[in-house]
Chains A and B, each alone.
Chain A
Amino acid sequence: MTKAEAQRILDVRNVVKRFGGLKANDGVCMQLTTGEIRGLIGPNGSGKTTLINQVTGIYDVSEGSVHYFEKPINGLSPNVIASLGIMRTFQVARVFQDMTVLENMLIPALAQGQNRTRATQKAQDLLDFALLTRLMDKPAKSLSGGQNMLLQIVRGFMIDGLRLYVMDEPFAGVHQSIKGIIIKAIKMMNKEKNVTFLIVSHEMATVSSLCSRVTVLAKGRRIAEGSMKEVANNPEVIDAYLGGVKKDVVVEC
């Protein structure tokens, strides 16, 4: 796909999330183009997880809207959003503890109506890639934290027609070698299947090597966007990480 054909896959327009009186997100805008790997960074409590929960339907959108290939998806339930080709991972790996590693892999494929034999084959290939084949028939609860994260990530690749993969802290607390596999998987799926990624992470070095653009949130607002180099030198971003955010600093839509 050439640059000219690249489409706007995700368009977050002035999204607000209220928890009672608290505004976790206060008019966030963000646009993703098909085939990009976008980083989403910001200090703790800046609204990153809230935003991706809104994109994937876990939270409602109090105001504003989320568009996926120009069609609004806010208000849809998470399983409908998943069926459109959007997968996600969670900060604390959410695997099905009492199911085996292979069964975990099959869930998204079966939910999509894939043939079980073919899905099993695909799962085995992915587990081979992730070096989890030996653990295939073990319950997920017997895996280490890093392996759980890895399983959670490769599980998302099981669906046919994956377009957008949203990851919440995929590198947090995982061993270097697992991190390597995760990065390899992201790069491969991005290159071969043109999957778009939105990655929340605190690991600046990894984000900088993986993502061409990053969006910076602070206190529920987008305060900067650009290449890692640009935002890293942005005084507002430095301020945000050190504590202070001026009210008027917002990158408008």
Chain B
Amino acid sequence: MKPSHLKIASIAALVLMIVLLPHLISDYWIYVITIAFFYTIMAASWNLLGGYTGQFSLAHHTFAMLGAYGSSLLMVKAGFPFFLSIPTVILLTILVSAVLGILCLRVQGLYLALITWAFAEVARNYIRLDYMFTGGDRGMNTPLLFGTLKPLPYYFLFLIIAVFCIALIALVMKSRVGFYLRSIRDDPIAAQSMGVNIVRYKIIAFMLSSGMASMAGAFYGHSIGLISPIMGDFNEMAMIIIFVVIGGMRTQTGPIVGALSVRYLMELLREYAEIRIVILSAIVILVMRFYSGGLMQLWEQLRRWFERDADGPVSAYESSDQ
């Protein structure tokens, strides 16, 4: 078999497996995987902003919460139908994220993290406190997209959204915009001196990434029936970072692998719910210290180990001037 045939065959097998899988497992597990798809979107879109562009936002989960609340409020309070409320709320959160992006323009690293974290806390506490409007800590009942709580249709819905978002991110990263985003992370001053409009692309990264989070959040709200300010807890943000770091930051497959595998691990640790965040955090410390490329680095090393006969290691340091 030629490698290209092998690739097509494995993709076909994967698609078949994903389509058949929900018919073989219990509703509970379908639900678990659906949620894992939601987190895959969150991880992949945060990776675009925090990974590739280097804007370490701590408000990504907030945009999902705003998407969920926004869409449901538009429907319940303003009588919008689904097909209007979801696009409207995505556009609104993109506007909000542009403002946040502008606020973050002149800051980097820790300061950007602090500003976005403060924004996240403001948004979460607003939703908690304005209980007449949002239902506060008791949460809010949301209209169900498919009129049922059975997870099967939502499984396919989130599968499609996840594939869409991942494909969109892959397209962006392949385009010249992807080049600009990576150059901004590596060295914003050099990027600007080479003609890259860093102001524009930093904000675009914020808008794209937050738009995807808000879309995922809106559909999430319409699939679980009850949303609460817990969506805005810092824990949620920590989980997104854990997925990306364990999977492999600044890779396109890393966040997907990270979100799916860590969610699975969390299910296995369900009986130890109290300490699983401790276990996961410990894994993050170990990964950051000893294996900063995450699972994708491991995969890359395995791949190279198998292929080493074909292509011997070449040191970049051997060169004419030395």
Contact = CB atoms under 8 A, between A and B. Distances in A.
Given A106-B179, A144-B319, A147-B321, A78 B193 contact: yes
A131 interface: yes
Contacts of B316: 135, 138-139, 142-143
Interface residues of B, number: 26
A58 interface: yes
A78 B186 contact: no
A79 B321 contact: no
Interface in B175-203: 176, 179-180, 182-183, 185-187, 189-199
Interface in B95-125: none
A146 interface: yes
A177 B322 CA distance: 10
Contacts of B176: 110-111, 116
A111 B190 contact: no
Contacts of A99: 179, 182-183, 186
B250 interface: yes
A205 B317 CA distance: 29
Interface string B159-185: 000000000000000001001101101
A106 B179 CA distance: 8
A98 B193 contact: no
A107 B192 contact: no
Contact of A82 (B179, B193, B317): B193
Contacts of B321: 144, 146-147, 175, 177-178
Interface in B271-296: none
A79 B198 contact: yes
B293 to A, nearest CB: 11
A108 B319 contact: no
**Smallest CB-CB A-B distances: 6 pairs:** A142-B316, A111-B195, A82-B195, A94-B190, A96-B186, A108-B194
A96 B319 contact: no
Nearest to A106: B179
A159 B194 CA distance: 9
A60 interface: no
B191 A56 contact: no
Given A138-B316, A144-B319, A147-B319, A97 B186 contact: yes
B320 interface: yes
Contacts of A144: 317, 319, 321-322
A246 interface: no
Contact of B317 (A79, A87, A142): A142
Contacts of A87: 193-194
A83 interface: yes
B294 to A, nearest CB: 15
A111 B250 contact: no
Interface of A: 56, 58, 77-79, 82-83, 87-88, 90, 94-99, 103, 106-108, 110-112, 116, 131, 134-135, 138-139, 142-144, 146-147, 155-156, 159, 175, 177-178
B195 A112 contact: yes
Interface in B212-265: 250
A244 B194 CA distance: 38
B192 A78 contact: yes
For B185, B186, B187, B195, which residue has the most chain A Cβ atoms within 10 angstroms? B195
A40 to B, nearest CB: 17
A58 B189 contact: yes
Nearest to B185: A98
Given A98-B186, A135-B319, A156-B194, 11 more contacts: A56-B193, A94-B187, A94-B190, A96-B190, A99-B179, A103-B182, A107-B180, A111-B180, A139-B316, A144-B321, A146-B321
B108 to A, nearest CB: 15
Contacts of A155: 194
A74 to B, nearest CB: 16
For B183, B194, B250, which residue has the most chain A Cβ atoms within 10 angstroms? B194
A57 to B, nearest CB: 8
Given A96-B187, A175-B321, A77 B182 contact: no
Contacts of B182: 96, 98-99, 103
Contact of B179 (A107, A139, A156): A107
B195 A108 contact: yes
Nearest to A176: B321
A99 B187 CA distance: 11
A79 B195 contact: yes
A181 to B, nearest CB: 9
Given A83-B195, A107-B196, A96 B320 contact: no
26 contacts: A77-B192, A77-B199, A78-B193, A79-B197, A82-B193, A82-B195, A90-B193, A94-B189, A96-B186, A96-B190, A97-B186, A107-B194, A110-B179, A111-B176, A111-B180, A111-B196, A112-B195, A116-B176, A131-B320, A142-B316, A144-B317, A144-B319, A144-B321, A147-B321, A156-B194, A159-B195
B205 to A, nearest CB: 16
A146 B196 CA distance: 25
